[in-house]
Structures are given as C-alpha cells and as structure tokens.
A and B are shown apart, each in its own frame.
Chain A
C-alpha cells in the first residue's frame, strides 16, 4: 500500500516538473506554428491549388523590376485570385515549367496592347464584350483608339467586384464632361441600390445560418445581366429595362422579408420556451421548499 502511495507522489512530482518545463520551453521555439501547419494540414489533394505557379514565383522574386514585382501582390487582392483565375489564364503560357513558361509555343500571349484589351478580357466575359463593342466606347476604341478599354475602368491586376462606384468624376472626365456619366449613373442607381440591399440581406441571413440558394442564384443572374447592360453606355436602353429588373427584385425582396419574419418567429418561440422553463424552475423550487429535509 505504502509503495503505491509513494508512486502516486512521484508521478505527481514528475508531472509537475514536466508541465513547468513545457511551459517554459515552448514560447521559446517560435517556428512551431509553421512546422505544425505543415505537418497537420498537409493534404496531398489540396496540392494542386496550393502549388505556386512558376509565373508567380519568378515574378515576385528580386530579379524583377520593382514596378513589375508588385503585380503578383496586387493580383492576390483581386476577385480573380479568389475565383482561381491566375496569370496564365489571362496571359497564356505554361506555369509548370519555369524555363519555357513564357514561350509563345506554350500559348504565351504577352501583355495586350491598349486596343487588344477588350478581346483579351472578352475571352471569358463574352456577353460584356459584345455589349461593349456595340457601345459608343467600343466603337470609339475600334475606329479612333479614343474609347476607354476594360482596364481604364477596372484596372488589370487588382480587379475587384464591380459596382457603380467605378463611375466617378476623375475617371469619367478624362475624355468628356461628367454630364454623360452622371446621367447613366442615375439610370443605374435605383436598381443598383436595390440589388445591393438584397445582397446585404442575403449575407445577413447567411450569417444567421439561413442560406437561400435559389434567391442567391436569381440575384447573381440579375446582377450579371444588369451590369452587362451598362457596357452599352446607352442611357435609354438602361431606362427601358429598369421595369423588367424591378419586377424580379421586388419578388426577391418579398421572399427575404418572409424569411426575416420567420426568424423573428423562431426567436420569440424559443424565448417563450425559455421563459416557460424558468417558470417551471420557480414552481419546482417552491415545491421543494414545502418538503422538509
């Protein structure tokens, strides 16, 4: 009995010292986090996406011109980055082979010239390209090289999700008065604010755990269609279509309102249950006082 008793004491002392050593030593080894993440998060199946492309590796290295070196950094903040659109998706080339990556044989197309940009982006944004080409801007670019191209308004590497804030004084007055810009911004404004409000509400609902995926899809489709329309820079066309969009959006708004009502009901209902059990608890505690211990 005595020896087992001792054993307990010895174990306890060892445990104590071990804990203290661990507590002292650990903060000292600073790179533990990296090691840990490498060892526990290593997943072979995630490798494809995580693999740095040769383009990015070389273009962010010190051998690059300071101007050009910033590009990968800019791109990493972009919406394209989040949607897995990488260097070679735009510029072509082979990201898996550093030596040959910028070879024209591997599909590298280089940096587009000013007038080539619409076609360059239009590979993927087909609907926008066709609207753009029919617009005053597209025609001006084609015939006199004076129209704005996609990069003028969106940038090239730090492209963000689009909204009407892209239309503002300094950008739109480079070539003509702001009057024209203002008129089209006003035409867009009502529908844009509605779409924004719906988007915010859907996000709020999602944070509350209610995912309205059908409604999200409808909104996404409507947004894309409406924003494509802008590229015609045709004010009367935008005004004509406003009714059509308003109808879709009003329906979405109603569905969202119904969902918020449902959430309110849920909150009240469980608050009621909570109250009910508080009352039951009080009754029980009074009841138990009536029984003498």
Chain B
C-alpha cells in the first residue's frame, strides 16, 4: 500500500531522480568539518521558533491589560503551554549562540571570500533580522523587564540630531512605550519579520547550494582552487581531484547535520529541565509598571556589549555613529578584505584583529553584566 503511493508519486514527479541527482550526487568535499553544520542548525532553530510561536500566538493577547496574564495562562493553564514557551525562550537564546559560532567559524575559515560575498551579506542581514526578532519579541510579555529594556532601546535612536526623535516616535508610536508600541512590536514579530527572514534565508541558502560549500583552508584537503558550482558537483565521475575526494550530501552529510540538531535539542531540553530561570530573571515575572523604574535595567546578554559601549562613550551621537559604521564594515567585509589568502594563520594582522575583537566583546559583555 505504502509502496504503491510512493510509486505513484515517483511516476509523477520522479522522486528517485530527485534523490539520486539532487541529493546523492551532490558532493561535499572532504575539506569540510563539523562547523559546516551550524548554518543548518540555526535554520532548524528558526523553524522551531516558528512552530512554538504559532502555538503561543493561539493564546497570547497583544494588549497591555492582558499580555502579561496571558503568558501566565500559557505556562500555568494551557496543557504543555509551559513547554512551548520555554522552548521558544531557550531555543531563541541558543540560536543566537549557534549563529555567533556560524559567523565566527565562517570568518576564521575565510569562507566569505569570492565568490561568496553575497552569501556573507545575506547572512549579515539575517543576524540583523534575528536581533530585530529578539527585540520585538522581548516586549511582548509586557513584564517590568521587557517594558524597561524596550524603553532604553527605543530611546537610543534619539541620539541622532533632527531625525532621531522621528525614528524613535515611529518605533514607539508616540513619546514613550505604550499600548501602541506593543501592537507595533507584535506586528513586527509575527507579520513583518517572518517573510523578510524567509526571503533572505532563501537567498542565503540558494547561494550556498549554487556555489557549493567551501573547504577549510587548513589541513590536507585545504584550499579550493575555484568555486564549485552545483552543475559540476553533480558530475561525480569527473576526474577533478576534488571530486575524487568527496562524499555524497545525502545521506552522509545530512546525518552529520541531523546529529548536530539532536545535540541542539538535547541542550535545549537540558536547560529547560535544570536551569529553567536562566533566561527569566525576577523582573520578567513582574507585570510592567510604567511608574516604577526597576533598580537594575539590563538588556539581554547579546545586547550587553553594544549597550556597555554606548554607556562608555560620553557623546551619544558619536557612540551610535561608531556602531553604525561598525555594522556597515561588518556587512561589507568581503569587499574590504580583498586578500586572496584564506588561511588566517598566515595573516597575523587579521588574526590578532579578530582575537582583539572577540576579547573586547567578551570584556564589554561581562562588564555590562556586572555594572
């Protein structure tokens, strides 16, 4: 019976052919390593966010009177609502860690170089979209923490002369964070950002598929002389030495990806089980109160470094301009770093630069966390 159905489908769309030509014949070179699975883990985490998000939206009420209590209903009354909400919270944080590792490993392996500049830029935009997801989602529970963190965040654009107030007012829909802001952020979080994300991630993954995964610049399989378009990869009988030392995308590489996804899920549930409050400090359990400023307002950990940097720079406008310039440099990095050499060990300046950057980031994060 089952077989019949499969055969039926096969006859119509050519399933075997798809698997054979698109998956099995698609080759991955041996120069890849486990870090090449991080992108798919991030993608999976995003899908997990989407699915858990659908269930949250079924009970969440985007209204200042009910937002907080509806999240309470989700975790206390809705069957397994707690699991859905915890997955949404914990996986979103883990996803950022995965994304960060993806970004750093790509940087260290020099995979952003020609012809993968567009892939990099699309990836950079994806990080920005992800942060926008985090920021907008953060306000939704309408807790003390979310309310005040959003107050700070939406005040930041006011540092710009002339247009600053306008931008802040558009973000908030008024002079301060109100019910209008809540509705705007809700719309961003569930309506504007998802299709934007899908579009960019589609481009990103299409580029990866089309150009082919890079190989690491380290080790015996190092160095890819030229990019490997999809058409070439399918031709596995070719005498190209790369193809000789390659293995099929399916099932070999897919199994590695599935393995990393299980690791991701195991860690997610481990945290939900043993550290359930790690991302939910006390201020997250108190309804928002616009008249009462909590003693310590801190942004989430991933915003701590830029926040601390803003705090350190006495002139707001200067501080924000630096950050925007840094984001610009980050986005267009492949066009700034034009050296052909992909092995970062052979580029001491770049190596010390990236180490310095990571150290500064870590120091700022810790500093911001404790001040």
Interface residues of A (CB under 8 A from B): 1, 4-5, 7-8, 11-12, 15-16, 18-19, 22-23, 26-27, 29, 32-33, 35-36, 39-46, 48-50, 206-211, 213, 266-271, 273-275, 277-278, 280-281, 284-285, 287-288, 291-293
Contacts and interface: CB of A to CB of B under 8 A. Distances in A.
A32 B314 contact: yes
Nearest to A11: B336
Interface residues of B, number: 61
B290 A46 contact: yes
A27 B293 CA distance: 27
A4 to B, nearest CB: 6
Interface of B: 30, 72, 75-76, 82-83, 86, 151-152, 155-156, 159, 175-176, 247, 251-252, 255-256, 258-259, 262-263, 265-270, 272-274, 276-277, 280, 282, 284-285, 290-293, 297, 310-314, 316, 322, 329, 335-339, 349, 353, 356, 360, 371
Contacts of A277: 262-263, 265-266, 269
B338 A8 contact: yes
Nearest 5 A-B pairs (CB), nearest first? A274-B269, A288-B255, A281-B262, A277-B266, A270-B273
Contacts, number: 145
A40 B152 contact: yes
Given A8-B336, A277-B266, A285-B259, A207 B277 contact: yes
B338 A46 contact: no
A190 B349 CA distance: 71
Given A15-B329, A207-B282, A33 B311 contact: yes
A36 B274 contact: no
Contacts of B335: 4
B115 to A, nearest CB: 16
A148 to B, nearest CB: 34
B83 A266 contact: yes
Given A5-B339, A49-B292, A281-B262, A208 B277 contact: yes
B266 A209 contact: no
A227 B23 CA distance: 74
21 contacts: A4-B338, A5-B339, A12-B349, A22-B312, A22-B313, A33-B371, A41-B155, A43-B176, A206-B282, A207-B277, A209-B75, A213-B72, A266-B276, A270-B86, A274-B269, A274-B272, A277-B262, A277-B266, A284-B255, A288-B255, A288-B259
A291 B251 contact: yes
A47 B252 CA distance: 63
A55 B89 CA distance: 46
A28 to B, nearest CB: 10
Nearest to B284: A209
B156 A40 contact: yes
Contacts of B269: 270-271, 273-274, 277
Contacts of B285: 206-207, 209, 211
B110 to A, nearest CB: 14
Nearest to A36: B311
B292 to A, nearest CB: 7
Contacts of B259: 281, 284-285, 288
